[in-house]
Amino acid sequence: MFDIILPAIPVFVVLLVVEYLSFRLRPDDHELGYDIRDSRTSLTMGIGNVVINIGWKMVSLVVLAAAFMISPFSLSPTNPLTWVILFFADDFLYYWFHRTHHTIRILWASHVVHHSSRYFNFSTALRQTWTPFTYLPYWIPLALLGMPPWMIMLQQSISLIYQFFIHTERVGKLWRPIEFVLNTPSHHRVHHGSNAQYLDRNYGGIMIIWDRLFGTFEAEGERVVYGLTKNIDTYNPVKVATHEYAAIYHDMRGASNWRDRYGYLVRGPGWVPQSTAEAAAAESASK
């Protein structure tokens, strides 16, 4: 009733095939299209995510239901205003969920999976994490405010389905009012870019207004280079799912003190202790 992702999967597959055929029939030198190995990995990651979420969404439902039960409020699903509040509140919370999963490394370790492809197409949208366990806390406030748990999970599914459609190179910029309010393929291409000016930009789910309000918006300009600043060069789904956790463990194990270990865990991706940065700079200057 509240999870419409599963029935949407056949639609995803059909549109993926249509997009793939469109690249074969009308190739564009400015678009990357598809790579079979990359897409196979993305589909495997997507299937794994669905399987894991069969159990994890039940856990999430129980936690949200518990929060809802202790709430002094109860918003009626028959009131249209409840749905309006849910739409904006869910999208606002998604923005902060998404932003923190880019700026806190232990959270990034889960989300980096989605950014590990060097391609941008409908199969990339299906490249999802196998460790979704850090997502739940962001939506507990909605249940505490009296939002029925099934409505929360339904809106989450609606947001994810919407975001599937913005993972494409085949759609250019849309009508300016739409580009101003909604997250579009153009905005989301920026989000997946490893170009310096595109890093940590355009976190919005359905709407882009949060990025405009909080200073993280960037319009699409130069051609986007997709992937990570340091790509992982593997199509192995297990390595794609776990590589950043392994990197965090390696960095923490090599740290000389607990302060630096803590930094490797909660600072942004790419953070290194000042002593390490200074040593690297000195070594570079001596060459």
Which residue type does 14 have?
V
The pLDDT of residue 29: 84
CA distances from 285 to 103, 179, 276 (A): 29, 45, 14
Nearest in space to 11 (alpha carbons), one of 153, 100, 126: 126
User: Is residue 282 scored above 60 in pLDDT?
Assistant: no
Domain range list for the chain:
4-239
The pLDDT of residue 159: 97
Alpha helices (H) along the chain:
5-25, 36-70, 80-103, 105-111, 122-125, 140-144, 149-164, 176-181, 185-191, 209-214, 237-254, 258-266, 274-286
pLDDT digits (tens, 9 = 90+) for 100-147: 999 999 999 999 999 999 999 999 999 999 999 999 999 999 999 999
User: Is residue 211 scored above 70 in pLDDT?
Assistant: yes
User: Is residue 76 scored above 80 in pLDDT?
Assistant: yes
Query: Using 50, 70 and 90 to split pLDDT, how confident is the model at 79?
Result: very high
User: To the nearest whole number, what is the mean pLDDT of the chain?
Assistant: 94
Which residue type does 170 have?
R
Cβ contact 188:202 at 8 Å: yes
pLDDT digits (tens, 9 = 90+) for 176-186: 999 999 999 99
User: Is residue 99 scored above 70 in pLDDT?
Assistant: yes
The pLDDT of residue 278: 53
Determine what percent of the chain is predicted with pLDDT higher than 70. Answer: 95
Which of 5-9, 123-127, 186-190, 257-261 shows the lowest per-residue confidence on average (mean pLDDT)?
5-9
Alpha helices (H) along 26-79:
36-70
User: Is residue 275 scored above 90 in pLDDT?
Assistant: no
Query: Using 50, 70 and 90 to split pLDDT, how confident is the model at 274?
Result: confident
Q: What is the mean pLDDT of residues 7-27?
A: 95
